[in-house]
Amino acid sequence: MKKALLIVDMLNDFIEEWGSLKVQGAKEIVPFIKNLRMEFKKNNLPVIYLCDSHSKSDPEFELWPPHCIEGTKGAEIINELKPDGNDYILKKKTYSGFYNTNLDNKLKQLGVDTLYIAGVAMNICVHYTAADARMRGYTVFIPLKGVKGLTVEDEAYMKKQFKDVLKINLL
């Protein structure tokens, strides 16, 4: 078994007060993810950032306010979780970190078969990335202290989905 940590969308626009698509309460999960990242690094295990990166006229903005536009401050990883040279950063254009990215190849190159997934939003990008990971045969762990959904109802629903439908291990 080889583990990797996926840090999903811990970007200014989702986390900071001034962010254009702020996930309420997401600041609370930052210290936990920071520690988790350090643990992975201590054990020489890969840390991969999945980052929303949109063009100005992205079709996603028909559904959501403009956010994480490539080259803007809002699209940057928050200060507390700045990656170092050994971390991997993958840009994505939609909810799943596997869609039109080389995440799957990267994980195979690294020999990873087990994913820890943390970040936001629990019911959107964490959800679809975790679902895709399970369909590709990865073992998935989600630490509940390391994810945040849009609402408490979303979080309750996702806990059930993760456990009962996707056989994801909740920590």
Q: Which residues bind Zn ion (CB under 5 A)?
A: 52, 60
In angstroms, give the least distance from the CB of 14 to Zn ion.
9
CB of 168 to Zn ion, least distance (A): 22
Cα separation, 167 vs 161, in Å, equals 8
CB 56 within 8 A of CB 50: no
Q: For Zn ion, give the closer residue by CB, 60 or 76.
A: 60
H or E stretch covering 160: helix 152-160
| Beta-strand runs (E) in the chain | 3-8, 47-52, 88-92, 114-120, 139-142, 147-148, 169-170
Among 34, 41, 4, 16, smallest CA distance to 146 is for 34
For the CB of residue 2, give the shortest distance to Zn ion in the complex, in Å.
29
Residue nearest to Zn ion (CB): 52
Cβ proximity to Zn ion, 21 vs 118, nearer residue: 21
Q: Which is nearer to Zn ion, 52 or 132 (CB)?
A: 52
Smallest distance from the beta carbon of 32 to Zn ion, in angstroms?
A: 23
Q: Return d(Cα 92, Cα 72) in angstroms, integer.
A: 15
Closest separation in Å from C-beta 154 to Zn ion: 16
CA–CA dist 140, 91 (Å, integer): 21
Q: By C-beta, is 36 or 54 nearer to Zn ion? A: 54
Residue 77, beta-bridge partner list: 11
- Which CB sits closer to Zn ion, 37 or 92? 92
Residue with tokens 């999960």: 29
